[in-house]
Structure 1
Amino acid sequence: MQLMATQHYGGNDFSFYSAKRKDIFMTINELAVGFGYKSKKGIEEILRRKPYLKENKYSFISKVPVRNYGTPQSVGTTKSKVQYQEVRLFTERGIFEIGCISHTAKAEQFRDWVFNQLKKLRTSFTKGMIAHNGSKDLQKMLHDAVFNSPIYKEKTEDKRRLAITNFNNLLIKTASKSRVKYKEDMTAEEIQKLEYLEHKTIALLHEGKCYQEIKLEL
């Protein structure tokens, strides 16, 4: 489970989580604040009256990344030690169910705001998938650049493949500012940055630069 975005609304920050950039979730604590309850007990009371909301398609217990006394970890944070906290997460369907059941003064406005945020994240996910698919040709180019580089072409195949792995890890780390380890978890903007770095790395490999030299230039 990863923190995908944090947005400000009504004087509070609300975090959106995702697993492999497929589905979007929010915590019970933040939904309680957004829908105008004094604490998460307000939503726990709804769960008591509507036990079907504990089914996985509506909500489930999971661990989410937090830092500094339970404050949600900021996207792009590079040096904070990530810790995980067990909490109830609500799916998109669960979020709207709570929104429809809630009759607080804040419910309708917050439900509209959440709908718009989920729509934006969905669009971002789609763009990210397109960018991810479009970057596959660059992976082939990077592979060929390593295998044909003056520095690596005389190396064994295993060492050249290790070099490709090292370059990929370096580029993902640099493009995401150490936020993620895998391309599938990158945002569309991060993938665009990754593509730029891949092009630059390919050019430097053609110039005969080694890993350490390229790392310094990136």
Structure 2
Amino acid sequence: MPLTLPHYANREERRPCMSNLALIKSEHFGDIQCDFYRNEQEQICMTTEQLGQALGYEYPKQAISKILDRYPYLREIEFSGVVKLGTPSGVQETRVFTEDGIYEVTFLAKTEKARAFRAWVRKILKALRKGEVVVVSPDKLQELEIKRMNAEARLINARVRQAKLILQSKDGKSLSPVSVELLNINALEVLTDSKINYRPEVEKTYTASDIAKETGISANKIGKIANANGLKTPEYGISVLDKSPYSDKQVPSWRYNEKGRQKLLELLKTKVKER
């Protein structure tokens, strides 16, 4: 599928050498699909998303964007440019990296996969330059493009399902506002494939087991004392989701803040004195 360059204010990004890209090769680095495109000047390119995935970043686009911010020269046409690319949700603008850009990013990346990917992609690019790799025939281009878009659609659907499960985990459960906010942020990260830096401030908390170890009594006893004295309120802690010790399900669990911990310690001292 031909890719065309949109009009940009940045003169470096709208030179013709980044226009009219066509898919010529599709290979897998591990379980990551890597599509290689070629322009009219015989330059070979790949997209930001796939480059970031191959390098092992959890949030590929955001990670590569940070590298670009740190090293602005990578935005020059020698290394990368912005094009329009067909996706399951329509034509979108995306940055593609030239061969030089691919190598630069792999050297700057600090991931465990960077070195292995650099060695792998060097062989692919070298073979493409020498004609040793069979280039995708025209009648296969449309089939590959459909497969790529279907793969992206499946990934999007998987993210939606995962986000839905995260949001459903709070249904019917009495959770603190902070816990609900954190669940919503996690769901949004899954949907957008982007790391959200914001997190609500959460004070240090203690489980019943933590306080039980500190006092030498059982966690069950701690819970009974807390219930008997009305300590499971926002003043003394928060309700969060924890993995059940008996299944893979997440269940509400109470955690005490410092005030709740101190109150429990005071109550336990009082009980000891009364004996």
TM-score, normalisation: structure 1: 0.50
TM-score, normalisation: structure 2: 0.40
| Greater radius of gyration (CA) | 2
